[in-house]
Amino acid sequence: MTLHFPEGFLWGASTAAHQVEGNNTHSDFWLMENMEGSTFKERSGSAVDHYRLYKEDIALLAELGMNTYRFSIEWARIEPEEGRFDEQALDHYRDVLKVCRENNVTPVVTMHHFTSPQWLISAGGWESMETPARFARYCAHVMRELGEWIPYVCTINEANSSIAIAKIIKRYKLGATAAQVGINMEKMTQMEKYNVQLSQAFGIPHSDVHTFLALRTEQGMDMIFKAHMEARTAIREISPHTQVGLTLSLYDVLSVPGGEEHAEHALHEEFLQFIPYMKDDDFFGLQNYTRAVYGPDGLLPLAEDAEKTQMGYEFYPEGLESVIRYVTKHLDMPIYITENGIGTDDDTRRIAFIDRALKGVHACIADGIPVKGYMHWSLMDNFEWQLGFSKTFGLIEVDRTTMERKPKPSAFHLGEIAKRNVLEGGTRNETA
């Protein structure tokens, strides 16, 4: 596929700390994984040992032809106890950033990717009115130490995640089957058990446990909005050169006759209500995996003959273009695709997904939409939360016995697209 992208376009892949690093012992997820009767299929353990092997992984990303790496800094490592910042953890992420620079790779840093320190959850979590200030304090400390190395920050990954989870659980409780929901219900129903287990671990009432992915009240949503804005202010005060944004996971929302009102409600919940809190950002991090089609009774089930991914999503890479076009009608800022990918054990389908998704991105750019980068999910096969290591999203396969990395054909394919555009367009990396 020959598509020519603009000079300066960022080509890369993404990871999340807990899913790849391993031994994240102070996080809420680690606690629940290791509880007796855990709903997790398996423990993260050493994950894919990225905490130790990051130098090789970043060098491999660059060797493949990509120039950008989106990764998260783990709050539970940086601040394992409230007010105590771990210098060794800061030194580790400082070296990750240095290795990016040495390999001419642009780092895109996420400050919170689902996991939280255990102490935060025991102190009220993401419903507490103290959480925005606590999150901003953590972001400020990281930027004081590392800001000179960081050109882009995503404050919160998928700030709308709890909304999608709540809607899916509600429909399931009302009697919808997993097929009618059109998503992997096993993962979603386990989210409800999550809080029960943590309440037992902390010795506090179930109603007082509020993890990031838990069902959220209006106050909880307000805490997410405030956490983003307070973090953005703190980051800009300390590191004014750093561009700040937020990421949202967005379906390509469609409707058939009679489903328009349901679709409009979904768009408001999942995207439009966030706009007032993002309008002063420097960029928007867009994440898309599939589409959602609404009818008179709500979300329609997937067609029997629809191609489905390992996660139960419909294989629909064209959704990315549609979401980009919708977003740009409401947000006047650069867009970075911070996640887009597919869980599959058939890498030829991943290659097809990449090609069809990038064709849509290219069409948007040709129409003047400021899409500035594409980061595939994920760099490596990794720990897919409650579902363990069985779901394969990676461009790179990992043998978890030896930790050997083996790039898949899709990794070389995306890398060749990136390299060709770098050579033709002289892509300029921004490494602070």
Q: Which residues are catalytic?
A: 158
Half-sphere exposure of 277 (CA within 13 A, CB side): 23
Instruction: Pull the structure tokens for residue 77.
Output: 């490592």
Whether the Cβ atoms of residue 398 and residue 45 lie closer than 8 Å to each other: no
Grouping H, G, I as helix, E, B as strand and the rest as coil, residue 371 is strand
Reduced 3-state DSSP string for 183-205: CCHHHHHHHHHHHHHHHHHHCCC
Query: Strands 291-295 and 298-299: what pairing?
Result: antiparallel
Nearest of 258, 253, 263 to residue 296 by alpha carbon: 258
Distance CA(192)–CA(127), nearest Å, equals 16
Half-sphere exposure of 308 (CA within 13 A, CB side): 15
Query: Strands 371-377 and 291-295: what pairing?
Result: unpaired
- Give the C-alpha distances (Å, rounded to integers) separating 242 from 49, 108, 260, 414: 29, 10, 40, 27
